[in-house]
Chain A
């Protein structure tokens, strides 16, 4: 392999249990988002657009669909002869096999991959955030600061700060002086985005030490970062300005989809910073004579005969005559039959909402129809999970 500056490691093994029914069959990074994407398209496209062409994807929970989706990495131009996407699931060794016990352990177990790529820097990313970011700029800041580690931070509203890992920094140069996990009385509103750049040798040393500590939960936020800070390492924050959303819950996933429908969407889909994804071979969608579509995003292969407002529809969705879909997310190949009504809901892939059926949630209680379900007319449901 040619000399590598920076390798990216995307943590994509999480179950995303707070997404409940949506992650029963697929890992969280494979959850559909924004009409045509999957969550993992965002970090992968960011890597491709930032010029990082060696990307390890660490998978564990329900990896089949995710592995299948990643394929050779060609969708993100990451099918290179000298790099590209490397799928890294846990594996057995001569002394037995271990699951990834935490975010840090997942990277630790793949130090041999990092040795193979032999980079100067390691960029650690999560597979469950929606944002567009130029990692090359963050790396430039890391080098300019001569930092050991740089952590991406994001300004959150003060009242929400107690829900995040908060970085207290030196206002002059952004050097991190303290890290507090979910502080009751936050001293700063700079939340960690779960994006880290480490000098490779520096990371290597801390991961190896942490691996021998039986009391550690082998987690970057809980263990590695605090230990590094305690050792007075040169750790800097890198402030990200722009849209960033953790889509770890049903509500936040719904909200992030709705954010795309604003008059000024949080990021431009038409800019040069493309979000790449696997494109199925489907025709442009068709809107029938009685269709009425407003404030919505629609993808290829859909056929709309009814009304759609404030909603995000994925590919191959059918909306029958007289059906009404509002404030909802409808995932690929779901059929909404005639006169069915859907409001404040996330309907997963390959569902059938029978003629005349009602699926209604409300803000704060989004209704969820899990993958492959059929909702009968008499099964009309209000709020929460339908199954």
Chain B
């Protein structure tokens, strides 16, 4: 798709993710044992043949730069097009994605692309954007918005869409909760480049702050908007519970296969970790284990990221343990999310609740 470019937004429901997003945007939140959430958006764009991707960066961008670097791991380090960073200087304190887009509008205008996917990288999916483009061209829409059926009732910011049988979007509403079965917007817009330029400039120049609310919801009658339903797995990370549940859904082998084992792999930064070492006392069931882990203890219904060390006598159940954590002898963890580099010392017992996981901040020693 040489005539299509992608623009990635890193903003999202940071406040609902508490400590997890204190030092990083949602898009950079580690997920599924080795990825960051933005890997799903960037890989889907690249796998759909889109080789020109701009990333709108604003606050807390270091983890994003550290992860994407030149874009090489996604085949985006190219002489022609490839990856571009689009910074927002936050003039007048405006760090919204819309302000970022406005500031970088010349980048969009200069591109030879005819269409633009504007993608908020806070959602887990593996989607073929070529189907979305085809849909867009067939319906003759001005704007196509991609949605999915919500998987469960959960608090967290969501935009639900009313979609007529022919795909036309008749209403959009932003709520602070998502209801099972509603048509939740996945943060993916597709439109012609000139439509985007017009939308961004006219919305921002009239004091707008949000592309969705000020640009689209308030001007529904000016555009022909269509909804494309993504029928595969998709989940938006807009709260700690959504994050906790999303990780655990990937323990379902069908979802694991759908997301990661298709002909369209999800790419991420490579780290050259060794294979996982299971010792003679290891007992691991229904879990995802990232490379570089060394396991002596018991792990059940959990996700371990790269380089985690689980000592003898340890019991971990229903947990997410991020990169380089050390869980020392006879510690017990249940319903816990350990951010990177956490050390849980010998004999410590930590317990959250099934609907309220205990979050241990990055580099904490307990």
Interface residues in chain A, defined as those with a beta carbon under 8 Å from any beta carbon in chain B = 34-36, 74, 263, 265, 269-270, 274-277, 279-301, 303, 308, 312-313
In the assembled complex, the CB of A153 is this many whole angstroms from the nearest CB of chain B, namely: 28
In the assembled complex, the CB of A266 is this many whole angstroms from the nearest CB of chain B, namely: 13
A295-B280 contact given A279-B272, A284-B34, A287-B289, CB 8 Å threshold: yes
Of the A-B pairs whose beta carbons lie under 8 Å apart in the complex, a sample of 13, sorted by A's number, is A270-B292, A281-B43, A281-B267, A281-B268, A283-B35, A283-B260, A284-B303, A286-B287, A293-B278, A294-B279, A295-B278, A299-B275, A308-B278
Give the docked Cα–Cα distance between A292 and B280 (Å). 11
Q: Give A310's nearest chain B residue, CB to CB.
A: B280
Interface residues in chain B, defined as those with a beta carbon under 8 Å from any beta carbon in chain A = 32-35, 43, 72, 251, 253, 256, 259-261, 265-268, 270, 272-292, 294, 303-305, 307
A270-B307 contact given A288-B253, A303-B253, CB 8 Å threshold: yes
Give the docked Cα–Cα distance between A34 and B305 (Å). 20
Which secondary structure dominates chain B's binding surface? loop
Instruction: Out of A36, A284, A299, name the residue touching B33 (CB < 8 Å).
Output: A284
Instruction: Out of B34, B275, B282, B292, name the residue touching A283 (CB < 8 Å).
Output: B34
Whether the Cβ atoms of A284 and B272 lie closer than 8 Å is: no
Add 19 more A-B contacts to A270-B294, A285-B289, A298-B289 (CB < 8 A): A36-B275, A74-B72, A276-B272, A281-B43, A282-B261, A283-B34, A283-B35, A284-B33, A284-B303, A285-B276, A285-B288, A293-B282, A294-B278, A294-B282, A297-B274, A297-B277, A301-B260, A303-B253, A312-B275
Whether the Cβ atoms of B274 and A269 lie closer than 8 Å is: yes
Give the docked Cα–Cα distance between A301 and B276 (Å). 12
In the assembled complex, the CB of B149 is this many whole angstroms from the nearest CB of chain A, namely: 24
Instruction: Out of A279, A283, A296, name the residue touching B288 (CB < 8 Å).
Output: A283
**Which residues of chain B have C-beta atoms less than 8 A from A277's C-beta?**
272
Whether the Cβ atoms of A281 and B275 lie closer than 8 Å is: no
Give the docked Cα–Cα distance between A293 and B276 (Å). 11
Q: Give A288's nearest chain B residue, CB to CB.
A: B286
**Which residues of chain B have C-beta atoms less than 8 A from A265's C-beta?**
277
Give the docked Cα–Cα distance between A213 and B253 (Å). 63
Whether the Cβ atoms of A297 and B272 lie closer than 8 Å is: no
**Which residues of chain A have C-beta atoms less than 8 A from B291's C-beta?**
36, 284, 299-300
**Which residues of chain A have C-beta atoms less than 8 A from B259's C-beta?**
283
**Which residues of chain A have C-beta atoms less than 8 A from B251's C-beta?**
286
Whether the Cβ atoms of A287 and B287 lie closer than 8 Å is: yes
Whether the Cβ atoms of A281 and B265 lie closer than 8 Å is: yes
Give the docked Cα–Cα distance between A303 and B265 (Å). 16
Give the docked Cα–Cα distance between A6 and B256 (Å). 47
Max count, chain B CB within 10 A of own CB: residue among A34, A263, A270, A301 = A270
Give the docked Cα–Cα distance between A121 and B123 (Å). 54
Give the docked Cα–Cα distance between A288 and B34 (Å). 19
**Which residues of chain B have C-beta atoms less than 8 A from A283's C-beta?**
32-35, 256, 259-261, 266, 288
In the assembled complex, the CB of B319 is this many whole angstroms from the nearest CB of chain A, namely: 14
**Which residues of chain B have C-beta atoms less than 8 A from A263's C-beta?**
279
In the assembled complex, the CB of A235 is this many whole angstroms from the nearest CB of chain B, namely: 36
Give the docked Cα–Cα distance between A35 and B154 (Å). 41
Instruction: Out of B34, B273, B285, B307, name the residue touching A287 (CB < 8 Å).
Output: B285
Whether the Cβ atoms of B285 and A284 lie closer than 8 Å is: no
**Which residues of chain A have C-beta atoms less than 8 A from B267's C-beta?**
281
In the assembled complex, the CB of A66 is this many whole angstroms from the nearest CB of chain B, namely: 20
Give the docked Cα–Cα distance between A279 and B273 (Å). 10
Whether the Cβ atoms of B253 and A282 lie closer than 8 Å is: no
Whether the Cβ atoms of A295 and B279 lie closer than 8 Å is: yes
